[in-house]
Amino acid sequence: MSETNLNPEEPKKSLNFIEVAVENDLKEGKNDSRVQTRFPPEPNGYLHIGHAKAICIDFGIAQKYGGVCNLRFDDTNPVKEEVEYVDSIMEDIQWLGYDWANVYYASDYFPQLWDFAVQLIKEGKAYIDEQSAEEIAKQKGTPTEPGTNSPYRNRPIEESLDLFNKMNEGVFEEGSMVLRAKIDMAAANMHFRDPIIYRIIKRPHHRTGSTWQAYPMYDFAHGQCDYFEGVTHSLCTLEFVPHRPLYDWFIDQLATSDYRPHQYEFNKLQFTYTLLSKRNLRAMVEEGILDGWDDPRMPTISGFRRRGYTPESIHILMDKIGYTKYDGVNDIGLFEYSIREDLNKKATRVSAVLNPVKLVITNYPEGKTEIMPAQNNPEDENAGSHEILFSRELYIERDDFMEDAPKKYFRLTPGNEVRLKNAYIVKCTGCKKDEAGNVIEVYAEYDEMTKSGMPDSGRKVKGTIHWVSEEGCFDAEVRLYDRLFMVENPADDERDFRELLNPDSLKVLKGCKMESYLNDAKEGDKFQFQRTGYFCVDKDSTPENMVFNRTVSLKDSWAKAKDR
Ligand code: ATP
Ligand code: MG
C-alpha cells in the first residue's frame, strides 16, 4: 500500500478477552455449552459506526463459536421510538453481512417483566414511592455518603400492589409515583440504592399501543430479557460495568436453575473529529444541518454506505482496533486507511477531471479519434480493461498546468513533457489566457512513437497526468466531503456541537468531465478516479445529472512535496 502514510500494526491474531471468556465457558461446559448473544439497539435513531463495533462482536462471537445471535429491540421507552428506525437497523445489520436467528422486542416481555415486578413486591423487595424524581435523587447520597430511606419504603405490600396496578391503568399522572426495588440505600454501588424499576409514561407504544402505562426501566428490562431468551454472553460497552452487579442481582431473584447470562463490557468506539451519539445526530437531522440520517458526512452506517464505504472496510477497521477494556479515541484516519485498503483491490480505475481546463494537441489530426485500452485495476489482473477515447481536444486538471512552475513541478509547463495516462507523451508548448489572465486553453504536441506498442512506448518522463477526451465525455456533479467537525475531540468539547462544525465539510463541483465509461454506472458503484481518490455514485444521480461522492482521497504526492 503506497497510498497512505499511516502504518498501523498488523491485526493481532490472538484472541480478544471476550473470546477467551467464551472459550473458557465452553471448556467448562457452562450453560450446556451453548453460546448465545444478542444485539440490543434502542430504535430511537439510525445506527452509527460505534454500533457496528457492537454488531461485529455480537454476531461475530455467535458465528465463530457455532452459536446464535438474536436481534432484540430495546423498546422500553415509547417516547422516542419509531418504526422507521427498526427498518433501518435491520437493513444496516444485513448490509454488514450478518443475519439474526430471531427478532425480539423487549416489549414482547412486558407481561413477564410485570409478573416479575409483582413477585418482587410480594416478596417485600419492591415498593411504590410517591416522591418526586427530585426528592428521590436528593436521598440517593453520594459515593462516600449513604442515602436516606424513602418514607414509603416500608409501606404495606398490599398497598404497593394496588398502586402498581393503578399506575398501569392510567389512574395517576406521569411522575407522580414509581416502583423501586428495595435493596440497600447504603450500598457502596449507587445502583443498588433502591433503583427505580417502573415509571408511568402516557404515550402509545409503537408495538403495544396503550396496553401499558407503566414501563420498566432499562436496568430492570435488559438482564431479564437476556434471561428469558437464553442469552449466555451479553456484550455491551464499558459504561455498564457498574450496572453489572444489579444485572446479576435481578437475575438471581428470577433464576430457577443454574443457567445465568453473563454481561461482558468492551470499550466504545470513538473517532477523532466525530460525534457518535444518537441524540446529537438526531438534532443534526431535525435541524436540517445535514441531508438526513444518510448524509455522507454522518457517522451513521447508512451515511458511510452512501459515502462509498464497504462492509469489508468496516470489518478491516474492527480487526485493527480490536476489543479491549480501556476507553480511548481512535484516529479517523484508520478508517480511511481501511476503505483505501479495500477499494484499492476492487475499484475500477477511471479518468475524471474535476476542475477542467482544455488541452489541445496541436499536431494531432483534427477529426481523428483513437480507442485506447485502459487497465481496470493494476492490483487485480483478472479485472480486465475497458476502452477510452483519445482525440485532439482533451480536458486535464487545471492544476496540472502551470505557466511559471517551480523546479520540482513535473506536470505540464511550457517546454516540459508528461505522459498522458494510457496514451502518448506530450510536450507543453504554451497556453491561451483570457483578459483577466485566466488560462483557458493549454497547448501541447504529442509524440506518435510513445503510444503503447510503439517503439518509444517505454520512454520515461517524470510526470503522468490523467485526462478525458472532449469527444464522448460528459459533465457530472462531484461532492467532496471533509471532516464534519473542526476539533479533534468534539465529544469532549464544552462548546455546543453546532459551534464546532466545519463550514467546508461539503464542496459541490459542477461541470466535472467524466470519461464515457462512467455513463453506465449505477447508484453505489465505486471507482478510483485516477490520481484523485475513490468515488461512488450517489442516490441523487439522474440520467441527466450524475452525482459522485468522494469516499476518500488518495494521497497526493505533490501536496506532500509542497508541505515539506
Ligand atoms: P448512543 O448513546 O450513541 O445513542 P446507545 O448506546 O444509546 O448509543 P443503543 O441502541 O442503546 O445505543 O446501543 C445498542 C448497542 O450498541 C449497545 O450494546 C451499546 O453498548 C452498543 N454501542 C453503542 N454505542 C457504541 C459505540 N460507540 N461503540 C461500541 N458499541 C456501542
Ligand atoms: Mg441507549
pLDDT tens track for 435-484: 999 999 999 999 999 998 888 888 999 999 999 999 999 999 999 999 99
* Mutation to probe ligand 1, out of 56, 219, 237, 332 (largest number of atoms < 8 A from CB): 237
Q: Which of 417, 432, 466 is the last residue of a domain?
A: 466
Which CATH number covers residue 224? 3.40.50.620
CA-closest residue to ligand 1 atom 27: 50
CA-closest residue to ligand 1 atom 18: 236
268 lines ligand 1 (CB under 6 A): yes
Within a 13 Å sphere around the CA of 270, how many CA atoms are in the beta-carbon half? 17
Q: How far, in Å, CA of 296 to CA of 290, rounded?
A: 9
Atom of ligand 1 nearest to the CA of 55: 16
Q: Do 237 and 286 lie in a common domain?
A: no
Range name among 36-50, 79-93, 96-110 with the lowest pLDDT average? 79-93
54 lines ligand 1 (CB under 6 A): yes
148 lines ligand 1 (CB under 6 A): no
533 lines ligand 1 (CB under 6 A): no
CA-closest residue to ligand 1 atom 26: 50
Q: Do 378 and 315 lie in a common domain?
A: no
Q: Do 327 and 371 lie in a common domain?
A: no
Distance 383 CA to ligand 1 centre (A): 39
Q: Do 441 and 494 lie in a common domain?
A: no
Atom of ligand 1 nearest to the CA of 270: 27
In a domain, 1, yes or no: no
Model pLDDT, residue 557: 36
Cβ atoms of residues 482 and 502 within 8 Å: yes
Q: Do 54 and 125 lie in a common domain?
A: yes
In a domain, 471, yes or no: no
In a domain, 420, yes or no: yes
50 lines ligand 1 (CB under 6 A): yes
| Mean local confidence (pLDDT), 245-261 | 96
| Mean local confidence (pLDDT), 357-384 | 96
89 lines ligand 1 (CB under 6 A): no
In a domain, 377, yes or no: yes
Distance 169 CA to ligand 1 centre (A): 33
Q: Do 233 and 167 lie in a common domain?
A: yes
In a domain, 8, yes or no: no
In a domain, 4, yes or no: no
Q: Do 181 and 32 lie in a common domain?
A: yes
pLDDT band at 78 (very low <50, low <70, confident <90, very high): confident
* Ramachandran category for residue 230: left, alpha or beta (phi over 0 → left; psi -120 to 50 → alpha): left
Ion ligand 2, residue ranges at CB < 5 A: 42
Distance 43 CA to ligand 2 centre (A): 9
What's the domain count of the chain? 3
Distance 369 CA to ligand 2 centre (A): 61
Average model confidence (pLDDT) across the chain: 94
On the question of pLDDT at 1 being above 60, the answer is no
Q: Which of 466, 485, 507 is the last residue of a domain?
A: 466
| Mean local confidence (pLDDT), 510-523 | 97
3-class SS shares of the chain: helix, strand, coil, % to 5: 30, 25, 45
Which CATH number covers residue 457? 2.40.240.10
Task: Tell me the percentage of the chain whose pLDDT exceeds 70.
Answer: 96
Q: Do 434 and 546 lie in a common domain?
A: no
Model pLDDT, residue 179: 98
SS3 of 12-25: CCCCCHHHHHHHHH
Q: Which of 466, 485, 500 is the last residue of a domain?
A: 466
Q: Do 383 and 454 lie in a common domain?
A: yes
Q: Do 154 and 107 lie in a common domain?
A: yes
Cβ atoms of residues 105 and 72 within 8 Å: yes
Domain that holds residue 397: 352-466
Torsion angle, alpha carbons of 465, 471, 475, 481, to 10: -10
Between the alpha carbon of residue 218 and those of residues 70, 183, 296, 359, the distances in Å are 18, 17, 32, 65
pLDDT band at 555 (very low <50, low <70, confident <90, very high): confident
Q: Do 344 and 359 lie in a common domain?
A: no
Q: Do 250 and 111 lie in a common domain?
A: yes
Which helix (H) or strand (E) segment holds residue 276: the answer is: none
Distance 278 CA to ligand 2 centre (A): 8
pLDDT band at 8 (very low <50, low <70, confident <90, very high): low
Cβ atoms of residues 361 and 426 within 8 Å: yes
277 lines ligand 1 (CB under 6 A): yes
In a domain, 87, yes or no: yes
